[in-house]
Amino acid sequence: MSGPSRSPYGFQEVTETADRAEPGQPASPELQQARRRCAGLAILSTLPFHRSTDWNAAVRTLPAKRRVLSFLWRWTGITDPVLVPRLLWHARRADVVLLNGGERVDLVYLALAGLAPWIRAPHIVVDAHWQAHGGWRGRLQRWLLELGEPVLHEVQPHSAEEIEVYHREFGIPRDKVHPVPWSTSLTGYRLEIGRKGGRDVVSGGFSYRDYATLFEAVRRAGLTLDVGLPRSPQSESARQLAADYPGIRIVEDWSMQGYWQAVADARVFAMALTPGLNRCSADQTLLNALSLGTLVVATDSVSTRLYLRDGENAMVVPAGDVEALAAALRRAMELPAEDYQRITGQARADIESEHREETRLARTLERAARAGQRTASGFPIPKRGARLVWVTAISMLAFAMLLDSLA
């Protein structure tokens, strides 16, 4: 029987403050150029990139925080509702607002910002990974987006395949959907690449993962697998499923440093995504693995089609096909050294040319600079329901003050 295990790397469970990577290297010329283009603009952001000095020089960040009473609204999926009144207050002086697109607090805030008479800045939803819902939840999504439409300048999913999805499912005009591919997130980590000798296969994460297919494929291939999963209710089904597979370990005590070192040490990084997804998922995880010189074996999905090319920089098999995934894992383990180096070398070259963290931050700032030009030339925004918003905002600010006094 297999179950939760301690990591052979001896790291403790991830915490919000203790597991940060060290500051990164000096910024790239493209990021510095993008920063200069944003000079003079007041950019407000909810995307915390504490390792980039150029990013933090160009924007003011209001990241979400865990609050003492977070358990009261956990059911909503919103970590920090206090972020909404804070944004409503600080956005009054912003030229551009960058929102982390997580489908919960971003939509609530966007709806209120669209009504607020004191907010005139164009808003860009960065890293949009909304999931369309049916019934009342879908109607709520569309209603919030309709209210936020006056200030919504741009939505940035990752793949061009998602343009039609955002137009069809969320009613976003096609000309407001601008895909920006994601990037690695390993700046500042100290990782040893190329030593190998770890487990056969490593995987991890719980968002839209198809562990039933992956676990059975690993068993049929006769391999061992370590899965990095944080302790959370969402991971419980994977833990229960792993109990039936002797060669599979669920590791709960990895830090991010420890997890990525385990990926770098493995022969294969495997990612099986839920069949039928119409949105990107696991982008950052896939790109980090590609950058570490580990052969990536994944199932076909929107994300894998964006970043992976079968036989060139990874191995890709049909989603939900256990036998095809098992065969690919066996091939990956038996691949001659020359072919292994060719594929992983191409993967690292792709990362270096297109998907470094600095490249993605530069693209985001470039889009912000373009939006800021609209503010400078006049950004006429019709306003509705100002009285309602004033009452709502004042109530939320009072509630925020109460929560902060308890924190």
pLDDT of residue 199: 77
Evaluate if residue 398 carries a pLDDT over 70: no
The yes-or-no verdict on residue 211 having pLDDT over 80 is yes
Q: pLDDT band for 20, please (50, 70, 90 cuts).
A: very low
Secondary element (H or E) of residue 268? strand 268-271
**Cα separation of the two ends of the chain:** 42
| Percent of the chain whose predicted confidence (pLDDT) is above 90 | 59
How many alpha carbons lie under 13 Å from residue 106 in its C-beta half-sphere?
22
pLDDT at 76 exceeding the cut of 70: no
The span from the CA of 276 to the CA of 362, in Å, is: 32
Query: Is the pLDDT reported for residue 3 higher than 50?
Result: no
Per-residue pLDDT at 6: 37
pLDDT value for 66: 59
Count Cβ neighbours within 10 Å for each residue of 12-26 and write b for 16 or more, e otherwise.
eebeeeebebeebee
Q: Average of pLDDT values for 296-311?
A: 97
Shared fold status for 4-13+185-355 and 38-183+358-406: yes
If one counts every other C-beta atom within 10 angstroms of the C-beta of residue 151, the result is 23
Q: Pinpoint the alpha helices (H) of 124-248.
A: 135-148, 162-170, 211-221, 236-242
CA distance 60 to 42: 8
**pLDDT greater than 50 at residue 2:** no
Q: Do the strands 152-155 and 201-204 form a parallel or antiparallel pair, or are they unpaired?
A: unpaired
Q: Minimum mean pLDDT among 116-125, 152-161, 382-391: which range?
A: 382-391
Q: At the top level of CATH, which class does the domain 4-13+185-355 belong to?
A: alpha beta
Which positions ≥6 away from 339 have C-beta within 8 Å? Answer: none
pLDDT of residue 406 exceeding 70, the answer is no
**What is the phi/psi pair of residue 60, to 5°?**
-105, 125
Neighbours of 287 (CB within 10 A): 29
CA gap 126, 206 in Å, rounded: 22
Report the chain's mean pLDDT, rounded to a whole number. Answer: 84
319-344 pLDDT per residue, tens: 999 999 999 999 999 999 999 999 99
Burial grade of 381 (CB within 10 A; 0-12, 13-18, 19 or more): middle
pLDDT, one tens digit per residue, over 108-152 is 889 999 988 889 899 999 999 888 878 888 888 888 899 999 999
Question: pTM of the full predicted structure?
Answer: 0.84
The better pLDDT of the pair 388, 211 is held by: 211
Q: How far apart are CA 8 and CA 10, in angstroms?
A: 5
Per-residue pLDDT at 280 exceeds 50: yes
* Cα 90 → chain centroid: 25
**In the chain, where the domains are located:** 4-13+185-355, 38-183+358-406
Q: What is the topology classification, in CATH, of domain 38-183+358-406? A: Rossmann fold (3.40.50)
Q: What percent of the chain has pLDDT over 70?
A: 80
Q: What's 82-117 look like in SS3?
A: CHHHHHHHHHHHCCEEEEECCCCHHHHHHHHHHHCC
Decide: 292 and 191 in contact? Cβ < 8 Å.
yes
Of the listed ranges 139-148, 204-213, 354-363, the least confidently predicted one is 139-148
* Most confidently modeled range among 142-151, 198-207, 343-352, 381-390: 343-352
